[in-house]
């Protein structure tokens, strides 16, 4: 009996399961789908829903608080829920209201992405690189670059405020959604621009207000549309920075240069309101002629000069450059600010007029007499000049010549006939000096001066009529370790050195200390080169010469090895004594 009852129960259970499964199939009751449910009970922690299944589902009440729909719920209300599992390990149905709402929003965002339809949401928080936007409980990413068409200074004013967005990227697999507020604003802005652009055409003269100033131009407001005024369209004259001519808030009269319907950009110009000064420049100015000008700006490489017309007025837009190399005849790399200053009235010579490149090259130095021409005219070769020592170098003295910008060089060899670099130490900066003009090289722009040339007589003239092997008498002026310094007669302007090895034919007598200052001695001229002003003296060669004469006169005994003039002469003296006896 009990076995029969157990068999009947199993049969009934199986039949119930079969009927239940068939009922689920009819209801499309599948995991991972959104289904309709009826609220059966609202508790403190959970809300229970009837799915017409074998048991009820429970949903945490926090899922309804997030969406702020708890207050509108009551028993019997129909809601969408997401079926996660038909049966958990506890045998319960697992459902979620939040996931159902998110899936619904995801489908809505999918449609919005495909149709590019605007959706409404709120910016709820800030994250790295942008912000989080809540669109029907679907959290989307808003990049910082997509917040506005312009930089936003106060982001707090946009937080938690309902706004419209455009879905620009959607990844179903990862669930990533990227939205843009900038695209919505740009679309709205484009419609407004189309209306404004239809009222503006090229060539129109409009009044615009300066909104912002940059280094390369300024943005102006024209009837509510942004327009660009480039720095090159501000003036025909050189403009360093737009801020030199414009200030934010200024109202400026401009001419519409270009309207681009595709990019919806407007370009403005101020200089186009006036005639181009380069248009007929060749009728008013000629290359090679001198005109009045005013220095507008001094830079490191030169100075910009505004031309002054025949009526005495400054020609706006006609500005040329005086390069650094055209400022001074004598100083090639002079600093322009040491020659010219802003607002200074000067005369300039036009070197080049390039209408195509809108360029004028000028020269300041060509309006003045070249000091080289004046110097050559006033100072012939061999004339005496006065000046002041500019500086003393290792090889000579640089002298600034009076009444001239020119500088001459006195080489150390031209300081004295006694050639010595020690002579340079006698001079210092700002010493007044007189010198003779030796040479002028106009091409290389160099002047050579000399001090020793001021003497009436050249001490070397003494040797002009002399020749090698002649015997002269000299005076000892200085005793050195390696020789002696001597002069010809009493003239101390030319000192010659007799080396130690040339002081005597006898090596033992080659001692400088045996000579005394003021003593006179005979020596022989050797190696005389008049053109090179070179001469060497030798006492040794004189003794050898005398020895040869004695040998020739008194016999050949003096030619034997080791015999000297004293031995030969000694024999001569002995023979003379015998004759006397």
Residue 574 reports pLDDT greater than 60? no
Task: State how far the Cα of 228 lies from the Cα of 397, in Å rounded to an integer.
Answer: 62
* Confidence at residue 29, expressed as pLDDT on a 0 to 100 scale: 63
* Confidence at residue 562, expressed as pLDDT on a 0 to 100 scale: 42
Q: Mean pLDDT over residues 411-438, rounded?
A: 85
- More confident position, 389 or 79: 389
DSSP E strands, 215-358: 217-222, 225-230, 251-260, 265-269, 290-299, 302-308, 314-323, 345-354
* Confidence at residue 49, expressed as pLDDT on a 0 to 100 scale: 79
Q: How is residue 430 written in tokens?
A: 């700002």
399, 387 in Cβ contact below 8 A?
A: yes
Architecture of domain 199-273 in this structure: Beta Barrel (2.40)
Q: How confident is the model at residue 10 (pLDDT cuts 50, 70, 90)?
A: low
Top-level CATH class of 281-367? Answer: mainly beta
Does the global pTM surpass 0.75? Answer: no
Task: State how far the Cα of 339 lies from the Cα of 301, in Å rounded to an integer.
Answer: 12
Output the CA–CA distances (angstroms, integers) from residue 108 to 100, 113, 170, 181, 559, in the order listed: 12, 9, 12, 18, 135
pLDDT per residue as tens digits for the range 110-125: 888 888 888 888 898 8
Residue 45 reports pLDDT greater than 50? yes
Task: State how far the Cα of 280 lies from the Cα of 291, in Å rounded to an integer.
Answer: 17
Q: How confident is the model at residue 13 (pLDDT cuts 50, 70, 90)?
A: low
Backbone φ and ψ for 138, nearest 5 degrees, come out as: -100, 115
Q: Mean pLDDT over residues 170-183, rounded?
A: 81
Tell me yes or no: is domain 116-187 CATH 2.40.50.140.
yes
Q: Mean pLDDT over residues 272-278, rounded?
A: 85
Residue ranges per structural domain of the chain: 24-100, 116-187, 199-273, 281-367, 371-454, 466-554
Q: Mean pLDDT over residues 141-151, rounded?
A: 86
Q: How confident is the model at residue 189 (pLDDT cuts 50, 70, 90)?
A: confident
Residue 575 reports pLDDT greater than 70? no
* Confidence at residue 16, expressed as pLDDT on a 0 to 100 scale: 56
Q: Mean pLDDT over residues 321-343, rounded?
A: 89
* Confidence at residue 361, expressed as pLDDT on a 0 to 100 scale: 94
- More confident position, 393 or 89: 393
CATH H superfamily, domain 466-554: Nucleic acid-binding proteins (2.40.50.140)
Task: State how far the Cα of 36 lies from the Cα of 53, in Å rounded to an integer.
Answer: 12
Tell me yes or no: is domain 371-454 CATH 3.40.50.1000.
no
* Confidence at residue 499, expressed as pLDDT on a 0 to 100 scale: 93
* Confidence at residue 536, expressed as pLDDT on a 0 to 100 scale: 93
Q: How is residue 401 written in tokens?
A: 């010549």
Task: Give the mean pLDDT of the chain.
Answer: 82
Task: State how far the Cα of 368 lies from the Cα of 419, in Å rounded to an integer.
Answer: 41
- More confident position, 111 or 91: 111
Task: State how far the Cα of 419 lies from the Cα of 320, in Å rounded to an integer.
Answer: 53
Shared fold status for 116-187 and 371-454:
yes
Residue 55 reports pLDDT greater than 50? yes
Task: State how far the Cα of 319 lies from the Cα of 360, in Å rounded to an integer.
Answer: 7
Q: Would you give the distance in Å from CA 290 to the centre of its chain?
A: 35
pLDDT per residue as tens digits for the range 470-483: 999 999 999 999 99
Strand order, beta sheet including 483-488: 495-499, 483-488, 471-479, 520-529, 534-538
Task: State how far the Cα of 186 lies from the Cα of 181, in Å rounded to an integer.
Answer: 9
Would you call 503 exposed, middle or buried from its count of C-beta atoms within 10 A (0-12, 13-18, 19+)?
buried
Strand order, beta sheet including 33-42: 57-60, 46-50, 33-42, 78-85, 94-96
Q: Mean pLDDT over residues 348-353, rounded?
A: 92
Residue 435 reports pLDDT greater than 80? yes
Closest CA to 37 of 23, 25, 55, 16: 55
pLDDT per residue as tens digits for the range 513-532: 999 998 899 999 999 988 87
Residue 329 CB coordination number (10 Å): 18
User: Which CATH number applies to 24-100?
Assistant: 2.40.50.140
DSSP E strands, 442-519: 446-450, 471-479, 483-488, 495-499
Residue 135 reports pLDDT greater than 70? yes
Residue 61 reports pLDDT greater than 60? yes
């Amino acid at each position: 009996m009990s076995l029969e009852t157990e068999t009947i129960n199993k049969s009934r259970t199986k039949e119930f399961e079969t009927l239940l499964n068939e009922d689920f199939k009819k209801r499309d009751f599948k995991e991972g789908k959104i289904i309709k449910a009826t609220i059966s009970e609202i508790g403190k922690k959970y809300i229970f829903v009837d799915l017409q299944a074998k048991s009820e589902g429970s949903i945490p009440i926090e899922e309804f608080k997030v969406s702020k729909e708890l207050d509108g719920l009551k028993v019997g209300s129909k809601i969408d829920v997401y079926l996660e599992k038909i049966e958990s390990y506890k045998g319960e149905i697992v459902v979620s209201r939040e996931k159902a709402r998110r899936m619904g929003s995801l489908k809505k965002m999918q449609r919005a992405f495909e149709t590019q339809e605007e959706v409404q949401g709120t910016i709820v928080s800030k994250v790295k690189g942008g912000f989080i936007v809540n669109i029907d409980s679907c959290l989307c990413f808003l990049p910082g670059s997509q917040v506005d068409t312009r930089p936003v200074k106060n982001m707090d004013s946009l937080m938690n405020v309902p706004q419209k967005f455009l879905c620009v990227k959607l990844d179903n697999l990862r669930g990533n959604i990227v939205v843009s507020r900038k695209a919505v604003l740009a679309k709205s802005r484009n419609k407004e621009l189309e209306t404004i652009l239809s009222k503006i055409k090229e060539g129109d003269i409009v009044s615009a207000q300066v909104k912002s100033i940059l280094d390369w131009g300024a943005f102006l407001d024209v009837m509510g549309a942004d327009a660009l005024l480039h720095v090159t369209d501000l003036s025909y004259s050189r403009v360093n920075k737009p801020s030199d001519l414009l200030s934010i808030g200024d109202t400026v009269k401009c001419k519409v240069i270009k309207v681009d319907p595709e990019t919806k950009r407007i370009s403005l110009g101020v200089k186009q309101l006036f005639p181009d000064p380069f248009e007929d420049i060749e009728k008013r100015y000629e290359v090679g002629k001198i005109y009045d000008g005013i220095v507008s700006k001094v830079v490191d490489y030169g100075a910009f000069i505004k031309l002054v017309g025949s009526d005495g007025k400054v020609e706006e837009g006609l500005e040329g450059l005086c390069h650094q190399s055209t400022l001074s005849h004598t100083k090639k790399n002079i600093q322009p600010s040491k020659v010219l200053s802003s607002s200074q009235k000067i005369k300039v010579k036009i070197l080049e007029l390039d209408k195509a490149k809108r360029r004028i090259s000028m020269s300041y130095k060509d309006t003045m007499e070249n000091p080289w021409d004046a110097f050559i005219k006033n100072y012939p070769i061999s004339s005496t000049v006065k000046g002041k020592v500019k500086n003393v170098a290792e090889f000579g003295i640089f002298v600034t010549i009076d009444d001239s910008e020119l500088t001459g060089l006195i080489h150390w060899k031209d300081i004295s006939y006694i050639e010595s670099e020690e002579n340079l130490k006698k001079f210092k900066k700002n010493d007044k000096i007189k010198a003779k003009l030796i040479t002028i090289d106009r091409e290389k722009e160099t002047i050579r001066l000399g001090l020793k040339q001021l003497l009436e007589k050249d001490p070397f003239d003494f040797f002009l009529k002399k020749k090698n092997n002649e015997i002269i008498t000299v005076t000892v002026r200085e005793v050195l370790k390696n020789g002696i310094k001597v002069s010809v007669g009493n003239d101390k302007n030319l000192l010659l050195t007799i080396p130690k090895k040339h002081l005597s034919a006898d090596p033992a007598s080659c001692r400088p200390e045996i000579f005394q200052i003021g003593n006179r001695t005979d020596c022989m001229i050797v190696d005389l080169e008049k053109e090179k002003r070179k001469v060497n003296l030798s006492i040794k060669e004189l003794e050898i010469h005398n020895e040869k004469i004695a040998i020739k006169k008194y016999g050949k005994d003096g030619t034997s090895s080791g015999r000297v003039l004293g031995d030969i002469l000694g024999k001569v003296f002995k023979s003379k004594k015998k004759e006397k006896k």
